[in-house]
């Protein structure tokens, strides 16, 4: 019997706004694909390498592949796929916490309403200007704004703060793309936020396992599994087709969550004909007021494997890794196909201007493990041969469905994404990099130019690089 379950079946069943998670089905698929053979693992890997999204059953085979040579084969294939599909670019962003008031009581989060130790802060206009100025002065061009859930943070508030961020200009600095991670809105609310010109709207389901969901969400609107599960359907209905999904790893069995994420992807594809733009896979970190038992804690070995499995399962979906993870884990999983990371992250309220050495858990949501500055992250990426990118071209040229463009137009990455990455890197090197990073960065640009045998295109790209050196900014293809 073929191991492939055709995802076509969801075309018949899935409807907008309706629950699509069937826990029994996921458990059954995981259960019936235990202890796969090397042959089965290789068969699934081969399908992924031809850039097919995997079915739940195929993904279950990879998830259950535990022999060291199987794990090795999965990781090697993920590296290969990453290089084929994404090339060497890594997009950089920073989170900016706008407000930590919260009516919910999520057992894992420092902002939970029952945590009376948490100092509650909402950034005012001047605070936003100060934080964004500091981020721009470090070289950032892309931010994700993060909010607790509170009546004060309604759609208008979110839209206003987005517009404030776009309005801050410091020297050559500007924020060219503002993404959002905030509570689910209704369709009207999503429309208001869309009008403010947001990029991606991210909402993590946290866990796709309803009983666990109900156990860890003790109070407030977030208690309602179905309202959250349908939230990005409402975003789609409001015209936001650029959405990010995620699961908080450590609440329930990671294998189940991987299949839950995949089921969410095929729900979007079935109903809206477009998958989510990104998947996030935060691994739970300690926090002030933290009350989650360690039963489902994900080990480093399982975590690195699950990222490789996700890469193979959804070749065309961006994968986001954050500073929750220490440098060593970040370095390893960057190779398996992560397409975006944060750099120079500070999740303390007003943290980008406070310059404190120590984290204070009573001022932030959870602990972070990568405290490097943006420049340190940039320099390491460059040394490892990655091209750090701040590119926002597609979104600003209204090439909508950015990921769709990237992957559906042959040669798009080489012709647009990679050159734009090089142009934004040159801007960074000119405006923000210390001399050592600048030297290494320009060496990487020179080496990357050798990849182009189309001399006409190469000279166009060179000409733009020269214009950037001469002081022009925001050039892209």
Shortest Cβ distance from residue 223 to ligand SF4 (Å)?
10
Contact between 131 and ligand SAM by CB under 6 A: the answer reads: no
Nearer to ligand SF4 by C-beta: 75 or 112? 112
CA–CA distances in Å: residue 307 to residues 99, 280, 327: 30, 10, 16
SS3 77: helix
Nearest CB to ligand SAM, comparing residues 202 and 424? 202
CA distance 126 to 133: 10
Determine if 363 is a binding residue for ligand SF4 (CB under 6 A): no
CA angle 267, 271, 275 (to 5 degrees): 60
Residue 287: CB minimum distance to ligand SF4, A: 9
- CB-neighbour burial class of residue 52 (10 A; exposed 0-12, middle 13-18, buried 19+): middle
Residue 248 or 381: which CB sits closer to ligand SAM? Answer: 248
Q: Is 55 exposed, middle or buried (0-12, 13-18, 19+ CB in 10 A)?
A: buried
Between residues 111 and 303, which has the closer beta carbon with respect to ligand SF4?
Answer: 111
- Of positions 109, 178, 235, 271, contacts ligand SF4 by CB under 6 A: 109
CA 113 to chain centre: 26
Site for ligand SAM in 265-304 (CB under 6 A): 282, 284-285, 287
Per-residue x/- track, 122-161, ligand SF4 (CB under 6 A) = --------------------------xx------------
Contact yes or no for 277/242 (Cβ under 8 A) = yes
Pick one of 82, 112, 305, 330: the residue that binds ligand SF4 (CB under 6 A). Answer: 112
Type and span of the H or E element at 308: helix 300-313
468 token code pair:
């950037």
Q: Which partner in ligand SF4, ligand SAM, none is near 416 (CB below 5 to 8 A by kind)?
A: none
Q: What 3-state DSSP class applies to 75?
A: helix
CA 295 to chain CA centroid, nearest Å: 26
| Binding span for ligand SF4 by CB under 6 A among 28-36, 103-111, 126-134, 258-266 | 103-111
Nearest-approach distance from CB 97 to ligand SF4, in angstroms: 10
Residues that bind ligand SF4 (CB under 6 A): 102, 104, 106, 109, 111-112, 148-149, 222
């Amino acid at each position: 019997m073929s191991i492939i379950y055709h995802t076509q079946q969801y075309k018949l069943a899935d409807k907008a706004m309706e629950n699509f998670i069937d826990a029994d089905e996921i458990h059954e698929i995981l259960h019936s694909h235990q202890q796969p053979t090397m042959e089965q693992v290789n068969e699934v890997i081969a399908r992924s390498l031809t850039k097919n999204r995997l079915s739940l059953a195929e993904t279950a085979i990879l998830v259950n592949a535990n022999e060291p040579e199987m794990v090795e084969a999965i990781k090697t294939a993920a590296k290969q796929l990453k290089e084929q599909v994404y090339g060497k670019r890594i997009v950089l962003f920073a989170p900016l916490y706008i407000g930590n008031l919260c009516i919910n009581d999520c057992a894992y989060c420092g902002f939970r309403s029952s945590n009376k130790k948490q100092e509650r802060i909402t950034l005012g206009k001047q605070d936003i200007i100060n934080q964004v100025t500091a981020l721009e002065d470090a070289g950032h061009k892309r931010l994700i704004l993060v909010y607790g859930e509170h009546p004060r943070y309604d759609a208008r508030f979110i839209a206003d703060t987005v517009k404030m961020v776009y309005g801050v200009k410091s020297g050559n600095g500007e924020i060219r793309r503002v993404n959002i991670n905030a509570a689910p809105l209704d369709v009207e609310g999503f429309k208001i936020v869309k009008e403010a010109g947001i990029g991606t709207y991210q909402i993590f389901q946290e866990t796709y396992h309803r009983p666990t969901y109900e156990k860890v969400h003790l109070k407030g609107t977030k208690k309602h599994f179905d309202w959250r599960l349908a939230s990005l359907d409402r975003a789609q209905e409001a015209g936001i087709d650029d959405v990010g999904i995620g699961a908080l790893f450590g609440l329930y069995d990671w294998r189940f969550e991987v299949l839950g994420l995949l089921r969410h992807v095929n729900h979007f594809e079935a109903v809206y004909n477009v998958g989510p733009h990104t998947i996030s896979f935060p691994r739970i970190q300690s926090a002030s007021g933290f009350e989650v038992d360690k039963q489902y804690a994900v080990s480093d070995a399982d975590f690195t494997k699950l990222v490789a499995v996700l890469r193979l399962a959804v070749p065309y979906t961006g994968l986001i890794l954050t500073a929750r993870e220490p440098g060593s884990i970040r370095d390893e999983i960057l190779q398996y196909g992560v397409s975006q990371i944060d750099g120079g992250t500070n999740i303390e309220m007003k943290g980008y201007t406070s310059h404190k050495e120590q984290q204070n858990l009573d001022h932030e949501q959870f602990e972070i493990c990568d405290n490097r500055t943006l420049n340190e992250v940039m320099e390491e990426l460059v040394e490892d041969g990655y091209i750090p990118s701040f590119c926002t071209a597609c979104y600003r040229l209204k090439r909508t469905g950015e990921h769709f463009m990237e992957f559906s137009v042959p040669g798009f990455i080489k012709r647009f994404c990679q050159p734009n990455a090089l142009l934004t890197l040159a801007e960074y090197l000119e405006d923000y990099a210390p001399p050592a990073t600048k030297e290494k960065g320009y060496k990487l640009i020179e080496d990357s130019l050798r990849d182009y045998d189309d001399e006409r295109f190469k000279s166009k790209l060179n000409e733009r690089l020269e214009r950037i050196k001469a002081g022009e900014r925001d050039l892209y293809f």
